[in-house]
Amino acid sequence: RKRLTITSMKKMKQERNAISVLTAYDYPSAKLAEEAGIDVILVGDSLGNVVLGYETTIPVTIDDIVYHTKAVARGAGHTFIVADMPFMTYGASRETTLRNAARIMQEGGAHALKLEGGTEIAADVEALVKAGIPVMGHIGLTPQSVHQLGGYKVQGKLDREAERLMNDAKALEQAGAFSIVMELVTEPLAAAISEALAIPTIGIGAGRGCDGQVLVYHDLLQYASPYTPKKFVKTYADIGTTIREAIESYVQDVKGAAFPAEEHAFLGHTSAVQPLYG
Ligand code: KIV
Ligand code: NA
């Protein structure tokens, strides 16, 4: 299987071949995503919510992203891997942005990085691209600024909001981004932005007009996701219930002496065993 490139992704857009993206955070999730034929894996800072149990993505660190990206890279050696730059690890000073980016690429093994923001981070995006790092943008509902945005709500409903998002998307493309995630954006606006850009857009809660889709692993599988069910998520399995019931059975078996059974035991030569006493 051949790993996608930023060039092949642009071609997919031209050919109206939708790009499938899924988050993964460790070896098994990455391995299963690759085996299932996912196009791109995102080591999202949503790992703060779904793997580490934080309420927002804000506490996620560079070390967290490096650690999880390493595991994903070991599990999915043939898949294009994008990793999130965490809150405040970019956009403050150019030098720090580049140093943090280098760590995720070199130590983690990501092939590209994703940054939240529009016009205000375009100069940083340009610097990263000049340094040889493919950058994915992320606009609309940007969870790292949840407190600034006043909650997790749909973006682009007002005309001035829509205009700003369109300008942000164009600024990111101009700065050299190879793709842009649009999160919780109205369908008509996301479609218009996708039309206006040559680079592929990846939607989550952004309707049917994007060039690809992304979902969070634990949402898609109902794998103990801390979120209440969301309108824009389609669940494809109930892994959480499967796991809980399996563990309940194990607990019952141990308590009821049903496990281990004879077939799980190593039956040696009892004649060789000396009685402990007498
Ligand atoms: O962190 C994440 O999982 C993301 C996707 C939802 C786009 O940024
Ligand atoms: Na993210």
Task: Find the length of the chain.
Answer: 278
Given this model, what pLDDT does residue 275 score? 66
Task: Kindly report the protein residue whose alpha carbon is nearest to atom 3 of ligand 1.
Answer: 44
Is residue 181 within 8 A of residue 22, CB to CB? The reply is no
Residue 25 CA, ligand 2 centroid: distance in Å? 12
Q: Is the ipTM of this complex over 0.90?
A: yes
CATH number for the domain formed by residue range(s) 6-238? 3.20.20.60
Rounded to an integer, what distance in angstroms lies between the CA atom of residue 182 and that of residue 29? 23
Ligand approaching nearest to the C-alpha of 44 = 1
Domain boundaries along the sequence of the chain: 6-238, 242-272
Residue 169 CA, ligand 1 centroid: distance in Å? 17
pTM recorded for the entire structure: 0.95
Is residue 115 within 8 A of residue 65, CB to CB? The reply is no
Q: Running DSSP on this structure, what letter comes out for residue 107?
A: I
Spatial CB neighbours of 104, under 8 Å, sequence gap ≥ 6: 62, 65, 66, 69, 83, 85, 110, 113
Ligand approaching nearest to the C-alpha of 41 = 1
Rounded to an integer, what distance in angstroms lies between the CA atom of residue 43 and that of residue 157? 29
Q: Given 15, 107, 183, 262, which residue is catalytic? A: 183
Is residue 213 within 8 A of residue 230, CB to CB? The reply is no
Given this model, what pLDDT does residue 1 score? 79
Q: Which atom of ligand 1 has the smallest separation from the CA of 45?
A: 1
CB-CB neighbours of 27 under 10 Å: 16
Given this model, what pLDDT does residue 254 score? 98
Residue 44 CA, ligand 1 centroid: distance in Å? 5
Active site residue 161: no
Q: Is 45 in the pocket of ligand 1 (CB under 6 A)?
A: yes
Known binding residue 70? Answer is no
List the chain pLDDT tens, one digit each, 278 residues.
Answer: 799 999 999 999 999 999 999 999 999 999 999 999 999 999 999 999 999 999 999 999 999 999 999 999 999 999 999 999 999 999 999 999 999 999 999 999 999 999 999 999 999 999 999 999 999 999 999 999 999 999 999 999 999 999 999 999 999 999 999 999 999 999 999 999 999 999 999 999 999 999 999 999 999 999 998 877 789 999 999 999 999 999 999 999 999 999 999 999 999 876 666 666 75
Given this model, what pLDDT does residue 268 score? 84
Q: Running DSSP on this structure, what letter comes out for residue 33?
A: H
Matching residue, tokens 């149990």: 53
Beta strands, E only, the chain: 19-23, 40-43, 80-84, 112-116, 135-140, 179-183, 201-204, 212-215
